[in-house]
Amino acid sequence: IKTIGVLTSGGDAPGMNAAIRAVTRTALYHGMKVMGIYRGYNGLINGDIKEMNVRSVSEIIHRGGTMLYTARCLEFKTLEGQKKAADRCRELGIDALVVIGGDGSFRGCKDMAAQGIPCIGLPGTIDNDIACSDYTIGYDTAMNTAVEMIDKLRDTTQSHDRCSVVEVMGRNAGYLALNTGIAVGALATLIPEVPFDIDRDIVQRMNDTRRTGKQHFIIIVAEGVGRAHDFAEIIEKKTGIESRATVLGHVQRGGSPTLRDRVSASQMGYHAVQLLLDGKFNRVVGTRGNDIVDFDITEALNMHKSIHTALYEMSKVISI
Ligand code: ATP
């Protein structure tokens, strides 16, 4: 492998820049050429590509977002689009790709591999919904951002004896919601992985807790279970407590990455290039505990991840 291309794809996540930096610098250190591909697979198809040097990735480790921009590319989902992308790689002498993104982006890697372009995937998403990895780039920052926002919300919720229903991101996964709920002391956290009953899990709990003297409440709902506004309306109707909905939205995707995101992204980016140097292709990098691991792309895409049920049970016990 003499030249590698690096791109970010799907939703952006804080720490992607640290990964780009690590991939670029590790590859340059080993004498490879690095091409930065802009706006995901779109850039590959359209030739929106620039050569990178060690200084191209200066001043980005502490920045959220992605210096390479990101996009969703419909054309790339077609065989014709994939062929165009592979032809572009051959035209520019790109021997392998490092793709930072989520599951959809890894499916794209598989398709590129089928077109004869070796790929390595790095898990970058705030949702933490990549099965082969305990941890994804951006997850830690997003949780910390959510906690910071909800701490502010708590002040006003408390002053008014209100209930705040806060919708946090996570797509169809509840990892972000569950951990945030624990960290902000939410009375209840609703996540897609665990069935719930509003009367039993929220109304009853609010009434019971009210009898112990508590007058304000924070309820976290993962976006995968429904809209915060709908829950707030039902809760107010059933409890008589003034309830307000807050949707944290895209602030969760931004901001300076935490130490954990910077370090993990750096380790994973470094590992991706090591794999290419070792001739190990078409793999997805991840973490298991403190270790950096990698799996065949197909195997990685077929893996399943489940919510930490003990953590969920604990969150209920300590929030009464
Ligand atoms: P996030 O979870 O942060 O949204 P993601 O990588 O899962 O990240 P997607 O929008 O699903 O986000 O995928 C990103 C891009 O990957 C798509 O726009 C498309 O170009 C490509 N892609 C997705 N699914 C496929 C597929 N089945 N085959 C080929 N390419 C795909």
Cα–Cα distance between 220 and 233 in angstroms, integer? 14
Strands of the 217-222 sheet, one edge to the other: 188-190, 217-222, 163-168, 243-247
What dihedral do alpha carbons 121, 126, 127, 128 form, nearest 10°? 60
Cα–Cα distance between 315 and 179 in angstroms, integer? 9
- Active site amino acids: 127
Q: Which protein residue has the closest C-alpha to ligand 1 atom 20? A: 73
Return the DSSP state at 58.
T
Per the CB < 8 A criterion, the answer to whether 121 and 132 are in contact is: no
Count Cβ atoms within 10 A of the Cβ of residue 195 and give its class: 0-12 exposed, 13-18 middle, 19 or more buried.
Answer: exposed
* pLDDT tens readout for residues 223-243: 999 999 999 999 999 999 999
CA dihedral (88, 92, 95, 96) positive or negative: negative
**What pLDDT does 227 receive?**
97
Ligand 1 environment, Cβ below 6 A: 9-11, 41, 72-73, 76-77, 101-105, 107-108, 111, 125, 127
Cα–Cα distance between 245 and 86 in angstroms, integer? 46
In ligand 1, the atom with minimum distance to the C-alpha of 129 is 2
Amino acid type, 59: E
Residue 318: count other Cβ atoms within 10 Å of its Cβ. Answer: 9
Compute, in angstroms, the gap from residue 111 CA to the centroid of ligand 1: 11
ipTM higher than 0.85?
yes
* pLDDT tens readout for residues 136-188: 999 999 999 999 999 999 999 999 999 999 999 999 999 999 999 999 999 99
In ligand 1, the atom with minimum distance to the C-alpha of 9 is 14
Compute, in angstroms, the gap from residue 74 CA to the centroid of ligand 1: 9
Q: Which protein residue has the closest C-alpha to ligand 1 atom 14? A: 10
Compute, in angstroms, the gap from residue 82 CA to the centroid of ligand 1: 13
**What pLDDT does 226 receive?**
97
Per the CB < 8 A criterion, the answer to whether 105 and 39 are in contact is: no
Residue 207: count other Cβ atoms within 10 Å of its Cβ. Answer: 13
Judging by DSSP bridges, how do beta strands 96-101 and 119-123 pair with one another?
parallel
294: which strand partners?
A: 285
**What pLDDT does 126 receive?**
98
SS3 42: helix
Q: Which protein residue has the closest C-alpha to ligand 1 atom 16? A: 105
* pLDDT tens readout for residues 41-96: 999 999 999 999 999 999 999 999 999 999 999 999 999 999 999 999 999 999 99
**What pLDDT does 119 receive?**
98
Q: Which protein residue has the closest C-alpha to ligand 1 atom 27? A: 107
Return the DSSP state at 48.
-
Per the CB < 8 A criterion, the answer to whether 180 and 220 are in contact is: yes
Amino acid type, 312: Y
Cα–Cα distance between 144 and 310 in angstroms, integer? 22
Of 45, 49, 13, the residue nearest 122 (C-alpha): 13
Pocket test for ligand 1, best of 105, 107, 122 (most atoms within 8 A of CB): 105
In ligand 1, the atom with minimum distance to the C-alpha of 75 is 20
Pocket test for ligand 1, best of 37, 48, 66, 72 (most atoms within 8 A of CB): 72
Count Cβ atoms within 10 A of the Cβ of residue 213 and give its class: 0-12 exposed, 13-18 middle, 19 or more buried.
Answer: exposed
Return the DSSP state at 124.
B
Residue 320 has pLDDT above 90, yes or no: no
Q: Which protein residue has the closest C-alpha to ligand 1 atom 6? A: 102
Judging by DSSP bridges, how do beta strands 96-101 and 3-8 pair with one another?
parallel
Q: Which protein residue has the closest C-alpha to ligand 1 atom 23? A: 104
